Each structure stands twice: as structure tokens, then as C-alpha cells.
Amino acid sequence: MLSSTFLSLSLFFLTSIATPAKRYDLDGNGVPDLCTTNSDGTASCLLSDGSLTTFKTSTTIPAPRATVTLPDPATFKKDNGTKWSIKYVGNLAFTGTLQAKGLGGDKCRSSKLGNKVIWSCGDMECKGGFTSSGCGFSMGPAFYGTSSVLTVNTTGISLVQSNDFAVPFSGDPKPVAPQSAFGMDTSNVAAINATHGVAYAFEIWRGASDGSFVNRGNAVVSVTLGNERPIATRVGPLLTGPNTIQLGLLAILRDGDFVYTYSIGGPSGIIVGRVAASDQVFSASAYSFLVAGSTSTWKTPGSIPAASSTTFGMTTTNSGGKFSCGAYGSVFFNTYLGKYVIICTAFENFTNMYVSATPFGPWSAEYGLLNGWGIGYGSMAHPEFSTDGGKTFHFSQGPDGPFNMFEVSFNF
Ligand SMILES: *[C@@H]1O[C@H](CO)[C@@H](O)[C@H](O)[C@H]1NC(C)=O
Ligand SMILES: *[C@@H]1O[C@H](CO)[C@@H](O)[C@H](O)[C@H]1NC(C)=O
Ligand SMILES: *[C@@H]1O[C@H](CO)[C@@H](O)[C@H](O)[C@H]1NC(C)=O
Ligand SMILES: *[C@@H]1O[C@H](CO)[C@@H](O)[C@H](O)[C@H]1NC(C)=O
């Protein structure tokens, strides 16, 4: 619960502010805090526990600095097991009835809003399927976390759909036969301020006996912290028709004054967009996209680009200039590396990492993290749980059942 003192402080600080010039990681989890620079030479940052701290920027706490330099990808591969390591540490667990019934699904992403970790998942049901397991089905439920990266708090929840998150809008046209149901593929959450976040969903019609589906378009939701669960409130009709990028479904990231959206498409395989971290996020015409081949030219096309766009895209020095990412992944700033990191999985077999000095590239070539584990869908990083400045972080992979959790440790 946020105390009213905290709320009024945050209302004061988080609205009356200029651009944060520096990043701070006061709680040491390796992820920059949500901070604002105040006009009196102080900055205010929201810590992991939801408390707000204010300090003089001229003195005290330094911004996080890179402590290491990554070698090239070939050397990195040789260093596996010595200078860095990866290990499977178990499956993501849920609490209460849903754990007892074997809740699983396709993917669970984690995000931080205020003092809460939000887990937003995809196509979740219990062992035995939605007809016989007795815990129902949800195309996209969201839950609060616990203090452990390995445990989601589902205490008191008996039907998984009681925690539906981004759902179709009453005004969205209903599925037409042979399709009979909606699908809402949902992004992670990016904080706009201490109390509100944003998430994106791509809506489809599905449920046909032949497995066919129909793309409908992108939706945007406002996210708030309900007492029992995170709440997603749809804002407006679909932002787009069916042929655009799936906005933010690779991942989204709050950084500085912007929300960055990473979407599959364009010449390199990823299109990055950005929009002011404000009510602007709800307006398709407010989004800018990085021009393909450029490192810093943004254009505001007035609408969300087509997936086949050749105009927009990020750059990687990977061979052929292409990222090898499947549909989903994660993007976050890692304090230990002093770099932005993309984690994603190619062909459901190879989990890779790319690094960059900015949230929009240019990105490195790919660094292999995990090879041949078997089917991996995602990979969803959970950096908000790190306790050592990002030297160690976790990611999980579905699909279709339990989520395998991996721990990556750097020791350069
Ligand atoms: C937080 O952001 C939301 C936009 O999602 C906005 O409507 C609200 O007014 C903001 N609150 C504050 C305190 O700025
Ligand atoms: C789970 O959430 C409930 C409130 O819904 C709380 O009472 C309980 O302490 C939480 N459990 C954990 C392990 O965080
Ligand atoms: C690194 O080593 C681990 C075994 O310790 C292995 O599971 C993983 O796939 C290796 N990563 C790469 C990219 O080869
Ligand atoms: C991925 O792994 C599976 C076994 O886990 C294997 O059958 C398949 O050939 C692999 N795909 C690629 C592209 O390596």
C-alpha cells in the first residue's frame, strides 16, 4: 500500500520536474530508478520498496558506471563458464491453489511499477488444460510478484481469468466464424510515473477448428496498481489495423523521458519507436520511429508503421545487419555492463544478447547465452530482482507449461 504521505510527495516531485540528466540506481538492483531532477539541485528517486528518496545531485550518490568491458562475441563464447556463466535454477512457481494445480503457459514478463513487480503472462492454464484442470484459462493474466524472482503471488486466486489484464474493448468487432475467440498478446509494462504505466496488446481473432487466425490490430492500455491485482484499462479503439508492426511486443522500456517500443519488422528485424512518457502514449500519431540505417534520426510518421516498412529500423553489427530475435524478448539497462541489453531467442533454440550504449542502438553483434536448451519462447528477463547491481540477472522461457528460469552471472 502506498501511504498518503508517499503519494503526495510523489505527486509533488514527479510532476514538477525537468528531464533527469543522470541515471541513479540507489537500490542497487542494476536497473535505473524512476528519478526526477528538481529545480533546487536535488533529484528524487523511487526505490524498489516504493519509497521516494531525495538527495543533492552535486554531492552524494554517483550515477551507475560501467565496471566492465565485454569482449567480442567469439571471446565471450570461450569465456562461458569462467568469466560469465549461465545455469538453470528451477521453474517459476506460483503460490496457493494455482501452484497446486500446475499453472503454466506461454510466457510471463515482469515489470516494475511503484513498489510492485507486475508479472504479465500469456495463454495461461493449469495442468490438464482449461476444460479439466478447474483453474480456467486466461489469454493474458497479470499478478503481483513476491520478493523472489522464482515465485509469483497467486494466493487466493482460483480461476486464472479472474486476473485478466488487457482484454478486448466492448467496441472491438467480435470474432466472425470460423474464428470464435480473441487473443490479446501483451507486452511488459513501462512506468509513466509512480502510479501509472502503459502496456500494449496485439488483438487477434482465433479459435477456428483449423487453427487459422485473423490479425486485428494494436491496442494500448493504462496500467494502475489495484489492491488485489494490476489493472489494465483500455484507452480508445484499436490504434491500428492488422498490417502494422505488433507495437512493443518484443519489449518496451521506460528510459529518460521516453517509452521505447521494440517491435519485429523492418530491414534489420527490429523497429524501435519512442513517445513521451505521458498521456502521449495513447496517441498513435505521437510515436516517432528511428530511421533505418541511421543512429539518431527519428521521424514521426503520424501512424504506426507497417511490419514490412523499409523506412524504419535499428542497426546491429550482427552478420547481414539482422537481429535474430523471435517474436518476444526483453530490453533493459544493465548497470554492471553499463549498457542497454536485448535478450531474445532465435528459432526457439538460441538465446542471444545484444548490447548498446543507447536504448536505440547501434547494437553489437549477437552474444550467445544459451544454446540448444530445447524450446525457448521469449526470453523474458527479470532484472528488477537483481541484488548485485546487475552482475547477476535472471530470465525465463516458456512455452506451453512451466517456465524455466535461468541465472546469468558476469564476472569480468
Ligand atoms: C501519471 O500518468 C498518467 C498517464 O498514464 C496521468 O494520467 C496521470 O495524471 C499521471 N499522474 C501524475 C501524478 O502525474
Ligand atoms: C501474496 O499477496 C497477499 C495479498 O494478496 C499477501 O498477503 C501475501 O503476503 C503475499 N505473499 C507473498 C509470498 O508475497
Ligand atoms: C554456456 O554454457 C552452459 C553450460 O554451462 C550452456 O548451457 C550454454 O548453452 C552455453 N552457452 C553458449 C552460448 O554456448
Ligand atoms: C531446436 O531444438 C530442437 C530440440 O530441442 C531440435 O529438434 C531442432 O532441430 C532445433 N532447431 C534448430 C534450428 O536448431
Higher-scoring residue by pLDDT: 63, 118 = 118
Q: Give the closest residue (by CA) to ligand 4 atom 3.
A: 374
Q: Which atom of ligand 1 is nearest to the CA of 11?
A: 13
Measured by CA distance, the residue closest to atom 2 of ligand 3 is 80
Residue 215's SS3 state is strand
Q: Is the dihedral of CA 392, 393, 398, 404 positive or negative?
A: positive
Residue 66: its pLDDT value, please?
60
The position carrying cell 498518503 is: 4
What's the CA gap between 104 and 272, in Å, rounded? Answer: 30
Residue 268: strand pairing partners: none
pLDDT score of 83 more than 50 = yes
Mutate to test the pocket of ligand 1, among 36, 192, 278 (most ligand atoms within 8 A of CB): 192
Q: What is the pLDDT of residues 153-170, one digit of tens each?
A: 999 999 999 999 999 998
Domains of the chain and CATH, by start? 4-56 (no CATH), 73-410 (2.115.10)
Q: DSSP string covering 64-81, please? A: P--------HHHHHHTBT
Task: Using a pLDDT cut of 70, give the percent of the chain over it.
Answer: 92
pTM given for the model: 0.91
At 5 the pLDDT is 41
Interval 74-91 mean pLDDT: 97
| Atom of ligand 2 lying closest to residue 228 CA | 5
Residue 62 pLDDT exceeds 60: no
pLDDT at 236 over 80: yes
Q: Look at ligand 1, atom 3, and give the residue with the nearest C-alpha.
A: 196
Please report which confidence band the pLDDT of residue 228 belongs to, taking 50, 70 and 90 as the band edges.
very high
Quick one: pLDDT band at residue 224, thresholds 50, 70, 90? Answer: very high
Mean of pLDDT over the chain? 90
Cβ count near 41 (within 10 Å): 10
For residues 360 and 314, the answer to whether their CB atoms sit within 8 Å is: yes
Stretch among 73-87, 107-121, 137-151, 364-378 having the lowest mean pLDDT: 364-378
The per-residue pLDDT for range 29-54, each reduced to its tens digit, is 878 888 888 888 888 888 878 888 88
